[in-house]
Amino acid sequence: MSEVSTMTADVDFTHEVEKHRHELRVHCYRLLGSFDEAEDLVQETFLKAWRGRDTFEGHSSFRAWLYRIATNACLDAIARRPAPGPAADAVEVPWIQPYPDALLDQAAGPDAEVVARETIELAFLVAVQHLPAKQRAVLVLRDVLGWPASETAALLEDTVPAVNSALQRARVTLRKHLPERRAEWSAEASALEKAALRRFVEATENCDMAELAAVLREDAVWSMPPQPELYIGRDTLIGQWAPFMVGPEAFGEWRAVPTWANRQPAVAGYAKRAGSGVFEPVALDVLRVEDGVVAEVTTFPSSVFPWFGLPATL
């Protein structure tokens, strides 16, 4: 092959690989729960694909070939993680990070299942982290991406009966860890989410603890990955938040910027402390809304703000 034709082939290969970047990042994210790690493993996938490009024989689609490389890279990454502790819930849940909706939109393309709400929301991602690695891969390939059992078995170098058995076990475990009530994606649900988001934003900016309490469900839950603590109950949450918003130890003035993560409403909080001329980032709250009120708040550090294109200061 001439130098020119080699260069053309290389450009075509790179172009073909790049077309799948966004959906592969979502795939790795589902398996790992980590936005940072997902990006690293997509790069690793592309490098392995480049090095092994001469081995692609066309027995499957180019997309399926990339998914095989990405899935195996994720399984290897999971295997390298420290073993969980003896506690039943000491699994990889602390790895969970948010995923900006703007990037999910880039991944969607013609394949809606790639970013379907029920398979990308935080509750689903947390539940998936309770699965052993191979069950996790089987569940995502079969129930999320809709791959046939035969193709899933081929990718994982396993048998169809073994894949079907792993899928059944994964479904049972998943049901145990998903919230009992999960909001259905509809125009009505979306409108209720937006209304709850507006109330949460206004209450935050006004430091109105009564209104914050009113927008929370009585049994609302709050968590802050990777911290293991879980706070349950409206009164408990308000008691935890109040010192940062009112009283002598309060951060100061607040501004709240609405955004969306994992197909859920989110609020980026900024505070202007005494003596400061700007509002500085504090945290990102991702909300799970049910029946118009906030059932769960998951808080992430301000280090995730750049992923969402949020300003460094206001």
Cis previous bond, 84, omega within 30: no
Lowest mean pLDDT among 3-12, 13-22, 97-106, 231-240: 3-12
Q: Where are the domains of the chain?
A: 3-177, 187-308
0.75 surpassed by pTM: yes
At a CB cut-off of 8 Å and minimum separation 6, what does 191 contact?
none
**281: exposed, middle or buried (Cβ count in 10 Å: 0-12, 13-18, 19+):** buried
**What's the pLDDT at 16?**
84
Q: Which residue has the higher pLDDT, 117 or 278?
A: 278
Query: Mean pLDDT across the chain, nearest whole number?
Result: 88
Positive or negative torsion for Cα 61, 54, 107, 31: positive
Positive or negative torsion for Cα 181, 90, 79, 308: positive
Q: Order of strands, edge to edge, in the sheet holding 253-261?
A: 230-232, 216-223, 293-301, 280-290, 264-272, 253-261
Read off the pLDDT of each residue in 211-230 and give the average, rounded to a whole number. 94
**What's the pLDDT at 88?**
43
CATH architecture of the domain with residue range 187-308: Roll (3.10)
State the pLDDT confidence band at 93, using cuts at 50, 70 and 90.
very low
Read off the pLDDT of each residue in 52-79 and give the average, rounded to a whole number. 88
The radius of gyration of the chain from alpha carbons, rounded to an integer in Å, stands at: 22
- How far apart CA 254 and CA 267 sit, in angstroms, is 12
Lowest mean pLDDT among 152-156, 225-229, 252-256, 303-307: 225-229
pLDDT tens for 95-105 read 699 999 999 98
At a CB cut-off of 8 Å and minimum separation 6, what does 237 contact?
216, 220, 222, 231, 297
**What's the pLDDT at 89?**
45
Phi-psi region of 276 (alpha: psi -120 to 50; beta: other; left: phi over 0): beta
Q: Which residue has the higher pLDDT, 259 or 83?
A: 259
Read off the pLDDT of each residue in 143-172 and give the average, rounded to a whole number. 95
Asked if residue 189 has pLDDT above 60, the reply is yes
Query: Percentage of the chain with pLDDT > 90?
Result: 69
3-state secondary structure at position 17 = helix
Angle of helix 21-32 versus helix 101-108 axis, rounded to 10: 120
